[in-house]
């Protein structure tokens, strides 16, 4: 009996995070602080004093630093390894923060200073 090789293996969908090709996205490895649960692609991250990143929200100290490039499960007791964008042209409407927190103009300015250009695109 033969196996069909015409089956669906995976898929990619458009999520509107990337707004344009310039400036180019520059991914880099980050350590996500433990106990945050599952963080989704597009989450704005803050760099902590211990070198790990947390989701931007009311309770975070520090400034918006980078944007998570892929989903990551940080629900364990150890820091999780992930990939984030340090630069790029991103859609501000696709960015995520902690529940109940809305990105401020100051947050957007911090991302811009770091090399992340934001544009407001339709969902």
**pLDDT tens for each residue of the chain, 123 residues long:** 566 666 665 555 678 999 999 999 999 999 999 999 999 999 999 999 999 999 999 999 899 999 999 999 999 999 999 999 999 999 999 999 999 999 999 999 999 999 999 999 876
Alpha-carbon distance of 110 to 115, in angstroms, equals: 9
Residue 106: what pLDDT? 96
Quick one: tokens of 44? 């704005």
Beta carbons within 10 angstroms of residue 24's beta carbon = 11
The domain at 23-98 falls in which architecture?
Beta Barrel (2.40)
What H or E segment, with its residue span, contains residue 105? helix 105-114
Does the pTM exceed 0.95?
no
Find how far residue 118's CA is from the centre of its chain: 13
């Amino acid at each position: 009996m033969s196996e069909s090789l015409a089956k669906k293996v995976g898929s990619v969908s458009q999520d509107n995070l990337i707004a344009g090709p310039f400036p180019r996205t520059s991914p880099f490895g980050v350590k996500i602080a433990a106990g945050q649960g599952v963080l989704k692609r597009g989450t704005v991250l803050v760099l902590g004093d211990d070198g790990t990143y947390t989701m931007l929200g009311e309770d975070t100290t520090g400034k918006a630093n980078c944007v998570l490039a892929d989903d990551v499960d940080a629900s364990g007791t150890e820091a999780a390894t992930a990939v984030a964008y340090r630069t790029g042209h991103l859609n501000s409407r696709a960015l995520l923060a902690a529940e109940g927190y809305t990105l401020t103009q100051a947050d957007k300015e911090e991302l811009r200073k770091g090399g992340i250009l934001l544009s407001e695109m339709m969902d």
